[in-house]
Amino acid sequence: MRPVCLNELWQRGCDFLGTPTALMAGAMTWVSNHNLVSAISNAGGFGVLACGSMTPELLKTEIQKTQSLTRHPFGVNLITMHPDLDALIDTCGQQKISHVVLAGGLPPVSSVQKLKQYGCKVVGFAPAPVIARKLIKAGIDALIIEGNEAGGHVGPVATSVLVQEILPHIHEIPVFVAGGIGRGEAIANYLNMGAAGCQLGTRFVCAKESPAHPDFKKAFIRAQARDAVVSVQLDDRFPVIPVRALENAASKKFKQIQAQIIQRYDAGELDLKEAQLMIEHYWAGALRKAVIEGDVENGSLMAGQSVGLVIQEQTAQEIINELIDQANHFLNKFISC
């Protein structure tokens, strides 16, 4: 039996991305900017710009800055709920973006088709097998299955379960695995299970090329896996979109704010819609406050559970080289075919 070769295992992912490795970088608002994305792509990975709430004009500028720093492929992450989604799609098409990741819910079929008309390869998130099938039917070119261990907005199912639900049954298009991945051994294992590649976000927050504030990076380096927790919802009448982040003063205060608003609603001081909006708007601007301004107590410290594996600041190239070395060592020592 011959050893399993990493290059063979992720060849499908490499061919799809147009890169020497099948390592996608998760798009993180305020973190995944032109500097970090270009560094990841230059290091052999696949950087992805986080559009977030950008206007089409701002996105165009960010794309052009990235293109000035790398000749290698990179993608753009668009939020499907963005009010200017069609205009953002036009921006990506006009700027000759090769890959667009649609996040934030089931994308409209019209958006998928419009991107494909521009020649873009379209990637979507599949939190369940039924969603995976719907996306394939809509014409999606690749899937990302992201487990509950990931940072930011998360679903209820762990990565280890999702891969068993989806990887054995989806062969038509490449499938990338994300959520809780911080070492090469895990990457090799998912590739061996049939993944085309993996996506990592938290691991790149402390890259030297990351624009994150030094105090934000220090919070990541100090943190353990169990410090990255999902936001708490106190009352079913006031739904909270689950977000995984490092617990801090702001996340503790969020529970108190919810309780106070619910108490005011029950006392008849607020109507339901007003109370729901007050809870929803609590985190407005909190991510920027932490990432850019360095207010790690009053801002949002979105992080995946793999944050415990972030132990120092490294260049994007060092991170990718380390992941490759770990994956190769694992395959050479434990896996054969």
pLDDT in tens, 174-225: 999 999 999 999 999 999 999 999 999 999 999 999 999 999 999 999 999 9
Judged against a pLDDT cut of 90, whether residue 309 lies above it is answered with: yes
φ/ψ bin of 82: left (φ > 0), alpha (ψ from -120 to 50), beta (otherwise):
beta
- Rounded to whole angstroms, the Cα distance separating 57 from 78 reads 14
Task: Kindly list the domain boundaries of the chain, sorted by start residue.
Answer: 6-211+310-334, 224-302
Among 57-71, 213-227, 269-283, the range scoring the smallest mean pLDDT is 269-283
Whole-prediction pTM: 0.94
β-strand pairing of 152-153 with 175-178? unpaired
pLDDT cut 70: percent of the chain above it: 98
Judged against a pLDDT cut of 50, whether residue 129 lies above it is answered with: yes
pLDDT at 334: 79
DSSP collapsed to 3 states, the chain? CCECCHHHHCHHHHHHHCCCCCEEECCCCCCCCHHHHHHHHHCCCEEEEECCCCCHHHHHHHHHHHHHHCCCCEEEEEECCCCCHHHHHHHHHHCCCCEEEEECCCCCHHHHHHHHHCCCEEEEECCCHHHHHHHHHHCCCEEEEECCCCCEECCCCCHHHHHHHHCCCCCCCCEEEECCCCCHHHHHHHHHCCCCEEEECHHHCCECCCCCCHHHHHHHHHCCHHHEEECCCCCCCCCCCCEEEECCHHHHHHHHHHHHHHHHHHCCCCCHHHHHHHHHHHHCCHHHHHHCCCCCCCCCCECCHHHHHCCCCECHHHHHHHHHHHHHHHHHHHCEC
pLDDT at 333: 87
β-bridge partners, 25: 200
pLDDT at 3: 56
pLDDT at 2: 53
Judged against a pLDDT cut of 80, whether residue 150 lies above it is answered with: yes
Judged against a pLDDT cut of 50, whether residue 69 lies above it is answered with: yes
pLDDT at 240: 87
- Rounded to whole angstroms, the Cα distance separating 162 from 150 reads 13
pLDDT at 127: 93
Average pLDDT over residues 229-243: 91
- The neighbour count for residue 272, using CB atoms within 10 Å, is 10
pLDDT at 337: 46
**Whole-Å CA distances, 303 to 46, 144, 194, 229, 237:** 20, 18, 26, 9, 27
Q: How many CA atoms lie within 13 A of 23 on its CB side?
A: 31
pLDDT band at 65 (very low <50, low <70, confident <90, very high): very high
Q: What is the mean pLDDT of the chain?
A: 95
The CATH code for residues 6-211+310-334 is 3.20.20.70
Average pLDDT over residues 231-256: 92
pLDDT in tens, 100-127: 999 998 999 999 999 999 999 999 999 9
pLDDT in tens, 244-265: 999 999 999 999 999 999 999 9
